[in-house]
Amino acid sequence: MRLYQTTIAFLFLFLSATAQKKLKPVGDLINIRQPGWQLVKAMVDTAKNKVEILPRNADQAREALFKTQVTTSSPMGAIVYMTGGLLVDNGWIRILGSGSAKLKRTLPGWNEGKTAVKFGDKPAFYLVADDAVGGFFALNGGGLGPGPGKIYYLAPDDLVWEPLDLTYTDFLHFCFSSNLNDFYAGQRWADWRKEVDTLAGDKVYNFVPPLWSKQGKAIDKNMRMPVPVQEQYSFNMDMRRSMGIYTGK
């Protein structure tokens, strides 16, 4: 219950701050008495899946925290302030932080122009992570469906936002310790680990035929090539519009 309340609290802080445009200075967002990083680090230390903590740039981390407007007592704020991001399962899942050489995108920078037109807008959802096959994880701000404050997944095999019924903290546990082979059944090919290990954090695989097509369900038979994650996200959004399943930004 405490973890759930913490997640809802920082979500409320974020939405309230952006909606009212009364932004807190970065010093007010750094909580040294109740650091959320202790919780995140404990989860990483006991993780069943490989988790790589990317180094941060201190100045960049402060800027990203200010733009995220989330306290470091929360897991999200802690990851933004303490890390350049997290790579899970050889980089299959990328959890956004304040940017690093292996994952140059920052959490607020990646969301600008996607979930909000400009910094300070109230988002319908907030992108927090993505994966090597072009799936995107977002915190629901009310624009994706029921369950504000819960994680949704834009699945590459149907381009539908699926509710995972996970808070952000629950999502971290899912990434670190769940059986990801089960979640990604049918979307991992032979030798995927070796390929993904060298995939840049700003790229994902684009498949031909697309995974959402009838012909694209046999993952080992598809052609695939790395493309910029921005290009894949835009493509997914365009296809959702053309299919008539578009919601949110």
- For the segment 152-164, the average pLDDT, to the nearest whole number, is 96
pLDDT at 217: 87
pLDDT at 23: 87
Q: Is the peptide bond before 209 cis (omega within 30 degrees of 0)?
A: yes
More confident residue, 4 or 21: 21
Local confidence band at 8 (pLDDT 50, 70, 90 cut-offs): very low
Per cent of the chain over pLDDT 90 is 79
Nearest-angstrom CA–CA distance, 120 and 20: 8
pLDDT at 249: 46
Confidence check: pLDDT of 20 > 90: no
pTM of the predicted model, to two decimals?
Answer: 0.89
- For the segment 39-55, the average pLDDT, to the nearest whole number, is 98
pLDDT at 13: 45
- Helix 37-45 to helix 75-82 angle (10° resolution) is 80
Local confidence band at 11 (pLDDT 50, 70, 90 cut-offs): low
* Residues 136 and 154: beta-carbon distance below 8 Å: yes
Per the DSSP assignment, residues forming a β-bridge with 139 are 126, 151
The first and second tokens of residue 249, run together, are: 């930004």
Local confidence band at 105 (pLDDT 50, 70, 90 cut-offs): very high
Per cent of the chain over pLDDT 70 is 88
Per the DSSP assignment, residues forming a β-bridge with 224 are 207
pLDDT at 232: 97
